[in-house]
Chain A
Amino acid sequence: MSFQCAYELRCQECNRSYGNQPLTICDECFSPLEVFYDIDSAKGIVTRESILAGPANIWRYAALLPVPKGFQPDLPVGYTPLVRAPRLAARLFKGGSDNVYVKNDAVCMPTLSFKDRVVAIALANAKNFGFETVGCSSTGNLANATAAQAVRLGLKACILVPADLEPAKILNTQVYGARLVRIDGNYDHVNRLCSQIADEYNWGFVNVNLRPYYSEGSKTVGFEIAEQLGWRLPDNVVVPMAGGSLIRKIKKAFGELVQLGLVEAKPVKFFGAQATGCSPISVAVKGDTDVIEPQRPNTIARSLAIGNPADGIYASRLIRSTGGWAEDVTDEEVVKGIQMLAETEGIFTETAGGVTTSVTEKLVRQGRIKPEETTIVCITGNGLKTTDALQGKYAKERAVKPRLADFADYLKELDSQSHQKEEIYAH
């Protein structure tokens, strides 16, 4: 492998160094550990050209990620499309806008969510630390990503999920042969149990004892946004928040690119999106505090249903320090958001994406996001996994006889129904 930026775990609060090991908590002050890099050593070595010469996936940024020496990545994760979204923008702004983009991780490979990015980095480290079994606590997407990528690396997987998870996400984990354990509780119960299991079993839990490495994978969303915008930073980023990690790591990525001189420094506002039924970070931002009051989740946006978000403190602080804001939307608005993105841009996202799209609309209405500003809407998962959310939204159409005349009649019938609907809406 070519140049790799030196990295190690450090406690953010007391600055104690821990080298590299499967550890997430400082055993002196019990604060979280973070991966620190010697970014300056990469100056002049990691360049736009060196990145461009890399593969069309997250590994093009391997020099800026905690990838162990000797690890040979073979899975083309990430480098998802950043698409201009003029039709969505026309819905958002009266005069439209050419400056709205969707970062589309609904098509992130191999399991159709941004979690493939974090799992790729976590499992590279799991292999390096010699774990034979890996696992995670998950609201679904992470379960899918861990199960699929574990197979690819010849690791056993044990996945813990809340019992009420969407059937598609459960099936999409079991199909890879992973051991799946449904826990009678919500995500916060599952996560707490996993931290105890990680203490007792010699397993690599991607979001527990491998978490500092795992979460660095989210930086690749930020690297890609900047590169795909033509090596510049946007004005606004709208990010869904569950644990609150992704939004932080996008900011960290932007900061590293600035430090390396690959993009010009500029203020970027970070906006967080949550469902009202689970909105502890949004509540904290609105209350101008970084004290997170935990909530009992009650929302269809299960992939964001973390009532006690581990990175909530940092996410709230970050959002407020950048001049951004956080908003939350009802389940009804979540569904409308899914439909709006699909109808305008041809992107079918899961409930979390419905949250992000509807929150973006709300932020525009509040005047916090303006048409002349470059705005990135981060879509993190695929709608095929949460089709339950759309149950009953579309009528089952009657079958039409295979004759041209019947087809023509049927079209007329549909047209008249839609006219009637328009008239109802107009009144």
Chain B
Amino acid sequence: MPIKVILPTAFTKHTDGKKQLDSNAKDLAGLVVDLETAFPALGANIKDEDGKLRRFINVYVNDEDIRFIGGDGYAFQDGDEVMLIPSIAGGCF
């Protein structure tokens, strides 16, 4: 069973309005690849120069911040609900 991925409205410009997809990704790195395959325009924008998810994008797995359960090392479980939410901050100083 794949994981269910929920995308924020801010992404929809690059996803033809889609806010949800199913993925078979094993971990966060795999999910970034999956997102890029499904939505090439989004893929280019959510990665930093190291190919990782930008640090302003928070990832929650079943309501828990992924950083509390292993971060990049967390292995997605069947049926996980994964939410991507951009961090709401200020900007420069």
Binding site for B on A (CB under 8 A): 10-12, 24-25, 27-34, 188-189, 191-192, 195-196, 199, 207-208, 211-212, 215, 243-245, 248-249, 251-252, 291, 293-294, 296, 308, 310-311, 313-314, 317-318
| Chain A residue, CB-CB nearest to B9 | A199
CA distance A252 to B73 in the complex (A): 38
Select one of A195, A294, A314 contacting B85, CB under 8 A: A195
Q: Supply 7 further A-B pairs (C-beta < 8 A) apart from A25-B88, A32-B87.
A: A30-B11, A192-B58, A195-B8, A199-B8, A291-B55, A294-B67, A314-B92
Q: Is B45 an interface residue (CB 8 A)?
A: yes
CA distance A313 to B11 in the complex (A): 22
| Chain A residue, CB-CB nearest to B48 | A29
Contact B68 A192 (CB under 8 A): no
20 CB contacts below 8 A, A to B, read A10-B91, A12-B92, A27-B10, A30-B46, A32-B89, A32-B91, A34-B90, A196-B85, A207-B88, A212-B91, A245-B90, A248-B93, A293-B67, A308-B58, A310-B87, A310-B90, A313-B89, A314-B91, A314-B92, A318-B93
Q: Contacts A199-B9, A296-B68, A308-B58 given: A11-B85 contact, CB under 8 Å? A: no
Instruction: For residue A115, give the distance in angstroms from its CB to the closest CB of chain B.
Output: 15
| List of B residues within 8 angstroms of A251 by Cβ | 93
B 1-53 contacts with A by CB, 8 A? 8-11, 13, 45-46
| List of A residues within 8 angstroms of B60 by Cβ | 192
Select one of B45, B67, B68 contacting A30, CB under 8 A: B45
CA distance A61 to B2 in the complex (A): 54
Instruction: For residue B67, give the distance in angstroms from its CB to the closest CB of chain A.
Output: 5
The 5 closest A-B pairs by CB, nearest first: A34-B91, A12-B91, A310-B89, A199-B9, A32-B89
Contact A29 B45 (CB under 8 A): yes
| List of B residues within 8 angstroms of A311 by Cβ | 89-90
CA distance A300 to B58 in the complex (A): 26
Q: Is B57 an interface residue (CB 8 A)?
A: yes
| List of B residues within 8 angstroms of A313 by Cβ | 55, 89
Q: Contacts A25-B86, A317-B93 given: A308-B56 contact, CB under 8 Å? A: no
Contact B10 A29 (CB under 8 A): no
CA distance A199 to B68 in the complex (A): 25
Instruction: For residue A256, give the distance in angstroms from its CB to the closest CB of chain B.
Output: 12
Contact B85 A249 (CB under 8 A): no
B 63-87 contacts with A by CB, 8 A? 63, 65, 67-68, 83, 85-87
